[in-house]
A and B are shown apart, each in its own frame.
Chain A
């Protein structure tokens, strides 16, 4: 299981999502949980469309062991914060300044989301975001959550 740095605790105000500082991200922090890593950037239009759905997933499965982390890949952190002002995120945001995480998960499109099982293994990969495919994305999460039971 690849060793990754420690994710600093992210204090999330319900209405003001602040962007976590850029400590490296550590999957072991979420041992025993299903993690969805969603790579996004403020200038990417489909990413903007995926936020309402990610909020809904967080609200729906948050207490069943789902952790959604929006990994921001903007060049400037200020651009991400301006975006979050207008499109608030209920889930955690991590600012991948060095882009190490994006390179490690070989992000090939924007947005890209990875459903990680309890042991951090990548169960499902989605590139781009299609409103029509929301049920499909949700099914992948539900299937992963089954593993926790």
Chain B
């Protein structure tokens, strides 16, 4: 049976209607759907190897487009975090015991393993609101507020951006700032920097005389240029400056103090009737200011249907960390409502000047700053992933992406003492990122 579904009967139907209604011609219909809300929802499963951090996250972004391109965006994120990151202490050839941050009990790590406090549970809720609107024909502005809360952390932030078009919208200059004020309420109080890990206590207020909280402020400035290179090629260049000040330490991170010859953790005599750390370790300390500069350039290139998205970022800061990031995606359409998007990302960074894998118990005074947090070390990371997107029957967009992210550290031999040389001193990590997202609405 020939397919009559695709034939247009509009002309015949219009003629028959005009005859029926006795009119010669009908004015063409003028109807347009009022843009309503459109929604972008996603479920993320992030899990690191050997049961370190796991995050199950639900994100929604609701956008309401008002007449003349004025847009309100409301964001909500709920993260359920379990598992924990290494606390900075080094694995030893013997078991080690540590006091938990709450100061109420201890946990023991078997030999050869990175000490991890797995009692870590956290639920994080983040909300954001953002208003975007053109100002006249050449300017556009964007203002937003954000807030997020965890059991030990509260973030409040504002941001604003102004952009202006030049030479027929081929060049757009934009400038923006973001200011955040965060407050930390660590479990067991704020540890005094570079002091020894405490024994278990049973005093009532739980903080053992420590300050209960501390705060930090972050100011971000971004200057950007978006430049149309050709009909298929668009580029963006951003310079951003970020200045943080206040309590920048991680309250739960420590450094193992080792014997200057053997490189092994120094045991701590345990007074009978008390419980506490089995070996010598100190809480970390970082400078209370940090200023970062970064240059970012991104290009989008259209190759009859396929879109290449490549970006490079260079960052340097006054903690002597330099980093390079290369990120590439290629969107490969399949038919007219599906696509595949492979993703490749390379990242490398140098260590912070005060990063060290351990302290040395040689009677000398402790350094002013020291941290064994693996995120401040010299390491490389690679992300490889694939995203598949498709249009649903109702014309909405769905997508699924699966990515592997792996970090590997490079600790310079000069830092290694005694037995550390033939031991694992950097907690390499692999993680999977699985995200399903569904865009529907208007």
Contact = CB atoms under 8 A, between A and B. Distances in A.
B26 A109 contact: no
A14 to B, nearest CB: 4
A90 interface: yes
Contact of A88 (B25, B29, B68, B137): B29
29 contacts: A14-B25, A14-B27, A15-B10, A15-B11, A15-B14, A15-B25, A15-B26, A16-B11, A46-B69, A49-B32, A52-B30, A52-B32, A55-B28, A55-B30, A56-B30, A59-B27, A88-B28, A88-B29, A90-B28, A108-B168, A109-B168, A109-B169, A127-B137, A128-B137, A130-B68, A131-B67, A131-B68, A132-B67, A132-B68
Interface string B8-33: 00110010000000000111111010
Q: How large is the interface on B (under 10, 10 to 19, 20 to 34, 35 or more residues)?
A: 10 to 19
Contacts of B10: 15
A15 B168 CA distance: 35
Contacts of A89: 28
Contact of A14 (B28, B68, B137, B169): B28
Question: Which 8 pairs, one residue from A and one from B, show the smallest C-beta to C-beta distance?
Answer: A88-B28, A14-B25, A52-B30, A131-B67, A130-B68, A108-B168, A128-B137, A15-B14
Interface in B346-366: none
Q: Which residue, B25, B30, B169, has most C-beta atoms of chain A within 10 A?
A: B30
B181 to A, nearest CB: 37
Interface in A53-112: 55-56, 59, 88-90, 108-109
Contacts of A16: 11
Interface residues of A, number: 19
Given A15-B14, A55-B28, 9 more contacts: A14-B26, A15-B11, A15-B25, A49-B32, A52-B30, A52-B32, A88-B29, A90-B28, A109-B168
Interface of A: 14-16, 46, 49, 52, 55-56, 59, 88-90, 108-109, 127-128, 130-132
Interface of B: 10-11, 14, 25-30, 32, 67-69, 137, 168-169
A46 B25 CA distance: 28
A16 to B, nearest CB: 7
A131 B28 CA distance: 20
Nearest to B10: A15
A15 B13 CA distance: 12
Contacts of A128: 137
Contacts of A49: 32
Q: Which residue, B26, B28, B68, B137, has most C-beta atoms of chain A within 10 A?
A: B28
A52 B28 CA distance: 10
B256 to A, nearest CB: 60
B14 to A, nearest CB: 6
A60 B118 CA distance: 74
Given A14-B26, A131-B67, A132-B67, A109 B137 contact: yes
Contacts of A127: 137
Given A52-B32, A109-B169, A90 B27 contact: yes
Contacts of B25: 14-15
Contacts of B11: 15-16
A109 B166 CA distance: 11
Contacts of B30: 52, 55-56
Nearest to A14: B25
A55 B25 CA distance: 15
A46 B168 CA distance: 16
A131 to B, nearest CB: 5
A132 B10 CA distance: 34
A88 B31 CA distance: 11
Contacts of A90: 27-28
Nearest to B31: A52
Nearest to A59: B27
Nearest to A132: B68
Contacts of A109: 137, 168-169
Contacts of A15: 10-11, 14, 25-26, 28
B19 to A, nearest CB: 14
Contacts of B169: 109
Contacts of A88: 28-29
A59 B69 CA distance: 27
Contacts of A59: 27
A73 B208 CA distance: 74
B34 to A, nearest CB: 12
A26 to B, nearest CB: 27
Contacts of B137: 109, 127-128
A99 B63 CA distance: 36
Q: Which residue, A15, A46, A109, has most C-beta atoms of chain B within 10 A?
A: A15
Q: Which residue, B14, B25, B26, B68, has most C-beta atoms of chain A within 10 A?
A: B68
Nearest to A53: B30
A124 B28 CA distance: 28
B134 to A, nearest CB: 9
